[in-house]
């Protein structure tokens, strides 16, 4: 009798625990309510994802560790929202002198970070005051980009590759460098 009672209690506990629903954080509840995510976290019926295609050209000097790059980004707003700013990731700014970081960086690797020489949107050069660089994020204010619209961004930039600290990028030894954050489709 006691064994049957324990089995029943255990079964009830398992049933209660597996069917219990934990409270959702407010940001996840919004995604669930909008239908962009399901309760399991999978994409929902209203899921969307913006799209960007990149054409990247770089010149890298292994002796000076200087990298000069030009990138053309074809960006499509697939969201239901009109965008008024676009955020670009400047990962090499992890080594910028003032950047906040959660890793130790050798003082020899601290630099000016990514220098944006020019940035144009649909062929129109933007002024530096339209963009804000904060750590590894560059936010560009732009004219409204409606759902389904696209923009062509052209960015000319420069930075010096790190040497001593290695967080996914840097000189491994003289003549051998890992230049990260580029992809080829």
CATH number, residue 116: 2.60.40.1730
**79 and 50 Cβ atoms separated by less than 8 Å:** yes
Does 145 fall in a domain?
yes
pTM over 0.85: no
Longest dimension (CA), the chain: 82
Could you tell me if 22 and 56 lie in one domain?
no
What Å distances lie between residue 159 and 88, 93, 119, 138, 150, CA to CA? Answer: 16, 9, 15, 15, 28
Q: Per residue in 26-55, pLDDT tens?
A: 888 888 888 888 888 889 898 999 999 999
Does 115 fall in a domain?
yes
Could you tell me if 169 and 85 lie in one domain?
yes
What are residue 155's DSSP bridge partners? 71, 119
Whole-angstrom Cα distance, residue 58 to residue 65?
A: 12
Could you tell me if 115 and 141 lie in one domain?
yes
Does 136 fall in a domain?
yes
Could you tell me if 17 and 78 lie in one domain?
no
Does 40 fall in a domain?
no
**Is the model's pLDDT at 12 over the cut of 70?**
no
Does 164 fall in a domain?
yes
Residue 23's domain comprises 2-34
Does 41 fall in a domain?
no
Q: Per residue in 116-149, pLDDT tens?
A: 999 999 999 999 999 999 999 999 999 999 999 9
Could you tell me if 125 and 155 lie in one domain?
yes
Using 50, 70 and 90 to split pLDDT, how confident is the model at 103? confident
């Amino acid at each position: 009798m006691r064994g049957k009672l324990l089995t029943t209690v255990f079964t009830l506990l398992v049933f209660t625990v597996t069917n219990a629903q934990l409270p959702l954080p407010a940001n996840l509840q919004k995604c669930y309510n909008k239908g962009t995510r399901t309760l399991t976290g999978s994409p929902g019926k209203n899921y969307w994802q913006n799209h960007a295609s990149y054409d990247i050209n770089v010149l890298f000097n292994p002796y000076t560790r200087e990298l000069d790059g030009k990138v053309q980004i074809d960006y499509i707003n697939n969201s239901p929202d009109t965008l008024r700013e676009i955020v670009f990731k400047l990962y090499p700014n992890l080594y910028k002198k003032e950047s906040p970081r959660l890793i130790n960086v050798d003082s020899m690797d601290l630099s000016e970070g990514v220098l944006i020489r020019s940035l144009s949107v649909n062929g129109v050069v933007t002024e530096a005051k339209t963009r804000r660089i904060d750590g590894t994020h560059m936010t560009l204010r732009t004219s409204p980009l409606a759902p389904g619209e696209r923009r062509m961004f052209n960015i000319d930039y420069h930075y010096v590759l790190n040497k001593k600290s290695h967080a996914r990028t840097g000189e491994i030894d003289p003549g051998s460098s890992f230049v990260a954050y580029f992809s080829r489709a």
